[in-house]
Chain A
Amino acid sequence: MSQVILHHVPLSRSFRILWLLEEMGITYDLKTYSIRDGSLRAPAFLEISPSGRVPALEIDGMTQFESAAIIEYLCESRDGFCVGETAQERLRFREWMGFAETQGSILTTLNLQHLFIRPPAKVSADVLKVETARLKKTLAMMEEALTERDYLLGAFSAVDCMFGWNLRAAPFYVDLAEFKALEAYLDRIHARPAYLRAVANDGDQDFYEKPFYAAKDVT
């Protein structure tokens, strides 16, 4: 089988893929970029990923984009993890994959405003307030699901990996202490050897400068 190469930025959506590759025991080469140094806009990278986005996964003779598409392709093309045996299972799998991006888009908006818009450019306090409330709502929906089961679909699945980035990014904006089932779920995740290997390989992020950003700190 040809070489697998993951194009990656620490603590970004590509962490989802990094973790799943570890869970599936797929050998990969990691090419790490920084969102700040222009390397995602370099011609060499744009040849691989025309929109200059990560993750991009070179696998089976093609480059696959979109973290959710990569996860579904890995599940569909290899043994070990699957999208679901029945139509009903596949429905829930895909619904959670979509929901991860509903939540992911909120995190992206918060990242953009808190981290990448620098004074004197003005951020919108209203956007931060609305998006932080929406993030809380999505976490409450996960909390409800996880009070009934150990993992999002019952047994551990690739959907959990899809939330791997989300749940590392969310605590910068929302205190998770009120979500007890979610915290217990995170304890289970953090005990997985593949997760720990993925975190060890992730590299140092260079955009969060403090552990918590409150919406109300912005005027």
Chain B
Amino acid sequence: MKLTLHHAYQSRSQRVLWLLYELGVEFELIQHNFFDKSLRSEDYLAISPAGRVPALEIDGEAMLESGAMVDYLCECFPAAGLGRAVGDPERRLFLDLLHYAETIGQHCANLTQSHLVLYEDWMRSPTQMGLEAKRLFVTLKRLDAMLSDGREFLLPTGFSGVDCAVAYGAVIGQKFTDISGLAHLQAYLTRISNRPAFIKSWEKPKGVPAIYTKDFYEVPNVEKD
């Protein structure tokens, strides 16, 4: 199986890059600049019609949607033990968390748009940004509660593909909402960030700008009624 991952540093494709390193499989990595026109080029649009990353070429055929890739890759490489197959007692939690990753990710994406893409204050809605930050916090609080029973990773039996999917939302989410009160989540983030595959996947590539340049993005003041 020949795999080619189209990736932009700090975007959702981090999930798949990290997973590929965890799986220990061979693949080709194509780094895109999130901000320039390469994601809008005809060649790339033929792979990903909306110009989004990640895109995964599997033997020359394109696959989209990072969550789908995580489930699919875990299934393709069962020896790594990162999936939970149908019938596994953790299958239901695996599915829940796989999709919960996107529930968290959507808040991150909306906040990224407001803070970083809409660069002028008058373009933004501070009310929307405040609501998104609050909702994001609620989604992260659920992770903190799950982790409070002492489990090391999100599934009680150990590290899995859903950690790759979900943790991205916490890594980026902490730039938009204060998680200093979520001690279990913070300890979890420390654990995952010590994994060699995680470290390798988050090394900043040369010649490609970062999407996020600040540690924290404060919601602008909401005008009072």
- State the A residues within 8 Å of B (CB): 50-53, 62, 64-69, 72-73, 76, 87, 90-91, 94-95, 97-99, 101-102, 105, 108-109, 112-113, 116-117, 120-127, 130, 134, 137-138, 141, 144
State whether A127 touches B100 (Cβ < 8 A).
no
In the complex, how many angstroms separate the beta carbon of A180 from the nearest chain B beta carbon?
19
> What are the 7 A-B residue pairs with the smallest beta carbon separation, nearest first?
A98-B65, A94-B68, A69-B95, A66-B99, A124-B125, A121-B127, A105-B106
A-B contact pairs, 9 of them (CB 8 A): A53-B103, A65-B96, A91-B58, A91-B63, A98-B67, A102-B52, A105-B106, A121-B222, A126-B118
Docked Cα-Cα span, A123 to B126, in Å, equals 8
Residue numbers in A under 8 Å from B99 (CB-CB): 66-69, 101
**A50 and B126 in contact (CB under 8 A), knowing A73-B92, A94-B71, A130-B113?**
no
Q: Which of B66, B75, B92, B110 contacts A62 (CB 8 A)?
A: B92
Residue numbers in B under 8 Å from A134 (CB-CB): 50
Docked Cα-Cα span, A90 to B67, in Å, equals 13
State whether A95 touches B64 (Cβ < 8 A).
yes
Indicate whether B225 reaches chain A with its CB closer than 8 angstroms: yes
Residue numbers in B under 8 Å from A65 (CB-CB): 96, 100
Indicate whether B98 reaches chain A with its CB closer than 8 angstroms: yes
The stretch from B3-11, B137-145, B180-188 touching chain A is: B137-145
Docked Cα-Cα span, A119 to B99, in Å, equals 33
- State the B residues within 8 Å of A (CB): 49-50, 52, 58, 63-68, 71-72, 75-76, 86, 91-92, 95-96, 98-100, 102-103, 106, 109-110, 113-114, 117-118, 123-128, 131, 138-139, 142, 145, 222-223, 225
Docked Cα-Cα span, A117 to B145, in Å, equals 30
State whether B72 touches A124 (Cβ < 8 A).
no
Docked Cα-Cα span, A180 to B128, in Å, equals 34
**Chain B interface helix/strand/loop/mixed:** helix
Residue numbers in B under 8 Å from A130 (CB-CB): 113, 117
Residue numbers in B under 8 Å from A101 (CB-CB): 67, 99, 102, 106
Residue numbers in A under 8 Å from B96 (CB-CB): 64-66, 69
Docked Cα-Cα span, A120 to B193, in Å, equals 43
Docked Cα-Cα span, A191 to B103, in Å, equals 32
Q: Which of A69, A73, A98 contacts B66 (CB 8 A)?
A: A98
In the complex, how many angstroms separate the beta carbon of A95 from the nearest chain B beta carbon?
5
Docked Cα-Cα span, A101 to B102, in Å, equals 8
Docked Cα-Cα span, A134 to B106, in Å, equals 14
Docked Cα-Cα span, A62 to B76, in Å, equals 28
Docked Cα-Cα span, A98 to B48, in Å, equals 14
Residue numbers in A under 8 Å from B139 (CB-CB): 51
In the complex, how many angstroms separate the beta carbon of A45 from the nearest chain B beta carbon?
14
State whether A127 touches B118 (Cβ < 8 A).
yes
State whether A99 touches B127 (Cβ < 8 A).
no
The residue of chain A having its C-beta at the shortest distance from the C-beta of B1 within the complex is A87
In the complex, how many angstroms separate the beta carbon of B69 from the nearest chain A beta carbon?
8
